[in-house]
Amino acid sequence: MSPLRLFRTLAVAEAVTWALLLVGMFLKYVTETTDVAVSVFGMLHGVVFIAYVLGALVVAVDQRWGPGRTTLAVLAAIPPFATVVFDLLAERRGAFAAGWRLREPDPVTATGPDRPVGQLLRHPVQGAAIGAGAVAALTVVALLVGPPVG
């Protein structure tokens, strides 16, 4: 899977779960028929939100995005559907290489976050497991902190 494909998959998934959450909110607050959809879709959206942010950070490190582009990628998860808009604009501006830069070890240029991200990318099965574990752990933390205010 290329950096673009990973990012796009997560961006679209985040947008879809946003849409589901909005449907749930409509059912709860407008039609006043049920609030179950908000609970289910809210949890799903929260998990995918966390996965998107972590995935965006991995892509940002690998593709050498600057702080501005990285911040915009992360902030795009907040307004509904903005992840898809960011994805399309970033692709048009050449933000995604065809392959993963850090799949090949290069001890001379591997500094800071390049090292752990490179490890994850060179061992994709373990990297996916670590990513899933990180999403699960951050979801538990979010549940302990409580729902968003509002």
- pLDDT value for 52: 98
**Rounded CA separation 129/98 (Å):** 24
- Residues 38, 44, 49, 54, Cα dihedral to 10°: 160
Residue 147 pLDDT greater than 90, yes or no: no
Q: Which residue has the higher pLDDT, 111 or 72?
A: 72
Contacts of 13 (CB under 8 A, 6+ apart): 48, 51, 52
Q: What is the mean pLDDT of residues 47-54?
A: 97
pLDDT tens, 81-139?
Answer: 999 999 999 999 999 999 999 888 766 666 789 989 999 999 999 999 999 999 999 99
Residue 34 pLDDT greater than 80, yes or no: yes
- pLDDT value for 22: 95
Residue 150 pLDDT greater than 60, yes or no: no
